[in-house]
Amino acid sequence: MQTVEGAIEASIAQSAIIEKQGQKRIFKIIVIGDSNVGKTCLTFRFCSGKFPDKTEATIGVDFREKVVKVENETLKLQLWDTAGQERFRKSMIPHYYRNVHAVVFVYDVTKTSSFDNLTHWISECNQHKLGEGIPRILVGNKCDDQRNAVVPTNTAQRFADNHNMPLFETSAKDDSESDHVEAIFMTLAHKLRSSRPMMPPTSNRNSLNMSRNNSQSDQNLRCCF
Ligand X SMILES: Nc1nc2c(ncn2[C@@H]2O[C@H](COP(=O)(O)OP(=O)(O)OP(=O)(O)O)[C@@H](O)[C@H]2O)c(=O)[nH]1
Residues within the interface to ligand X (CB under 6 A) = 35-41, 55, 57-58, 83-85, 141-142, 144-145, 171-173
With CA atoms as reference, report the closest residue to 77 among 139, 17, 156, 135: 135
Contacts of 20 (CB under 8 A, 6+ apart): none
Distance in Å, CB of 102 to ligand X, minimum: 18
Distance in Å, CB of 23 to ligand X, minimum: 33
Smaller CB separation from ligand X, 140 or 201: 140
DSSP state of 183: H
Distance in Å, CB of 198 to ligand X, minimum: 29
Smaller CB separation from ligand X, 84 or 201: 84
Smaller CB separation from ligand X, 171 or 219: 171
Smaller CB separation from ligand X, 25 or 43: 43
Smaller CB separation from ligand X, 41 or 188: 41
Query: Virtual CA dihedral for 11, 16, 18, 24, nearest 10 degrees?
Result: 130
Are 43 and 31 in contact by the 8 Å Cβ rule? The answer is yes
Distance in Å, CB of 177 to ligand X, minimum: 8
Are 96 and 61 in contact by the 8 Å Cβ rule? The answer is yes
Distance in Å, CB of 136 to ligand X, minimum: 17
Distances (CA, A) of 133 to 120, 185, 209: 18, 18, 31
With CA atoms as reference, report the closest residue to 46 among 168, 211, 166: 168
Q: Point out the residue whose Cβ comes nearest to ligand X.
A: 84
